[in-house]
Amino acid sequence: MPDDLPQIYLVTPPQLDPADFPDLLARILDAQAVACVRLDLATRDEDRLLRACDAVRAVTEPRDVALVLSDHVQIASRAGLDGVHLRDGARNVRAARKTLGTDAIVGAFCGTSRHDGMNAGETGADYVAFGPVGGVPAGDGSLADLDLFAWWSEMIELPCVAEGSLDTDAISNLSAITDFIALGEEIWMADDPSRRLAELVAAF
């Protein structure tokens, strides 16, 4: 990606088959310059999470793509991942940093709140994510609008991620005011995820 365009932040489907998904992921990573993959699984079963971590890391590691796991700090540490993505804002950033160390990636999803984003940065987050941009609003009925990203990009140095029901128009509008575009369900629901990702990236 050119330096002035956002980078691709890929979010896995909530359920995946460790036997089949790595091949699909490998094809996508070989076709697109993905900066980070987030394992965002619905299961809380430790064995299933560890198997998924191992399977996906075998694809991302040789391609020098960062791999983070949603919420499960201890499992991310045990599996040797690059870091963790916390879905509860700044609340556990400090504890995650203490567990994972200074070199790990710690990201925080902050919904639509500038305040939560700033708190996450102050407590040690490496990036914050805002969303949803489209689709079903957050719990308080709000969406992360363009003004939030424009303000953040102008006022705050900490990288931010835009996520949640993104279409080509939203991506085009966000490209100049966010550091990362997170894509997950937007591609996995397509018959050909790799082709759909290429279509969305063309809007960057």
pLDDT band at 1 (very low <50, low <70, confident <90, very high): low
- pLDDT computed for residue 51 by the predictor: 97
Residue ranges of domains in the chain = 7-201
Quick one: three-class SS letters along 79-131?
Answer: CCCCEEEECCCCCCHHHHHHHHCCCCEEEEECCCCHHHHHHHHHCCCCEEEEC
Percentage of the chain beyond pLDDT 70 is: 99
- pLDDT computed for residue 3 by the predictor: 66
Return the CA Rg of the chain: 16
Q: Is the full-model pTM beyond 0.85?
A: yes
User: What is the arithmetic mean of pLDDT over 34-57?
Assistant: 97
Q: Are 148 and 140 in contact (CB under 8 A)?
A: no
Query: What class, spelled out in words, does domain 7-201 have in CATH?
Result: alpha beta
Q: Spell 106-144 as b/e; 16+ CB within 10 A means b.
A: bbbbbbbbeebbbbbbebbbbbbbbbbbeeeeeeeeebb
pLDDT band at 135 (very low <50, low <70, confident <90, very high): confident
Determine the distance from the C-alpha atom of residue 83 to the mean position of all C-alpha atoms in its chain, rounded to a whole number.
Answer: 11
pLDDT band at 2 (very low <50, low <70, confident <90, very high): low
pLDDT tens sequence across 139-172: 777 999 999 999 999 999 999 999 999 999 999 9
pLDDT at 100 over 80: yes
- What is the C-alpha separation between 146 and 178, in angstroms, rounded? 10
SS3 (DSSP) at 132: coil
User: What is the arithmetic mean of pLDDT over 63-92?
Assistant: 97
